[in-house]
Amino acid sequence: MKHYSIVVIGAGHAGIEAALAAARLGEEVLLLSLSLDAVAFMPCNPSIGGTGKGHLVREIDALGGEMGLNTDRVTIQSKMLNTAKGPAVHSLRAQTDKNAYHTEMKQVVEDQKGIHLRQAEVAELLVKDNRITGVKLRNAEEISADIVIVATGTYLRSKIFIGSYVENIGPAGLKSANLLSDSLRKLGFELRRFKTGTPARIHADSIRTEVLTLHPGDEKITPFSFMNDSLDIEQVPCHIGYTNEKTHELIKNNIELSAMYGGAIEGTGARYCPSIEDKVMRFATKNSHQLFLEPEGLTTKEVYVQGMSSSLPEDIQEAFTKTIKGLENVQIMRPGYAIEYDCIDPTELTLWLESKRIQGLFFAGQINGSSGYEEAAAMGLMAGINAHLKLRGKEPFTLRRDEAYIGVLIDELVSKGTREPYRMMTSRAEYRLILRQDNADLRLTEKGYEIGLVTEARYEKMQNKKRMIEEELVRIKDARIALDKINPLLESMGQKPLEHTPSLESLLRRSELDYEMLKSIDDTRTNVPLSIFEAVQTQIKYEGYIAKQLQQVEHFRQLEAKKLPEEFDYLNMEGLRKEAREKLDKIRPSSLGQASRISGVSPADIAVVMVQLERRSRERNT
**Element (DSSP H or E) covering residue 23:** helix 13-24
pLDDT of residue 265: 84
pLDDT of residue 1: 87
Q: Are 22 and 45 in contact (CB under 8 A)?
A: no
pLDDT in tens, 525-545: 988 888 999 999 999 999 999
pLDDT of residue 249: 96
pLDDT of residue 260: 81
How many CB atoms are located within 10 Å of the residue 241 CB? 26
Angle between helical axes of 13-24 and 98-111 (0-180°, round to 10):
30
Per the document, the length of the chain is 622
φ/ψ region of 483 (left if φ > 0, alpha if ψ in -120 to 50, else beta) reads alpha
pLDDT of residue 288: 96
Residue 464, strand partner residues: none
pLDDT of residue 267: 79
pLDDT of residue 336: 96
Ranges under pLDDT 50 in the chain: none
pLDDT of residue 616: 83
Of 491, 497, 488, 492, nearest in space to 521 by CA? 488
Q: What is the b/e burial string over 495-530, where b = at least 16 CB atoms within 10 angstroms of the residue's CB?
A: eeeeeeebebbbbbbeeebebeebeebbeebeeeee
pLDDT of residue 247: 97
Q: What is the DSSP string of 298-364?
A: SS--EEEEEEEE--S-HHHHHHHHTTSTT-TT--EEE--EEEEEEEE-GGGB-TTSBBSSSBTEEE-
Residue 217, strand partner residues: none
Question: How many helices and strands (H and E) does the chain possess?
Answer: 20, 19
Q: What is the DSSP string of 152-191?
A: -TT-BT-EEEETTEEE---GGGPPPB-SHHHHHHHTTPPE
Q: Are 310 and 275 in contact (CB under 8 A)?
A: yes
Q: Which domains does the chain have, with CATH numbers?
A: 3-443 (3.50.50.60), 472-543 (1.10.10.1800), 562-621 (1.10.150.570)
Distance CA 402, CA 552 (A): 9
pLDDT of residue 617: 80
* Residue 591, SS3 per DSSP: strand
pLDDT of residue 272: 76
pLDDT of residue 584: 92
Q: What is the pTM of this model?
A: 0.94
pLDDT in tens, 34-46: 999 999 999 999 9
Residue 145, strand partner residues: 4
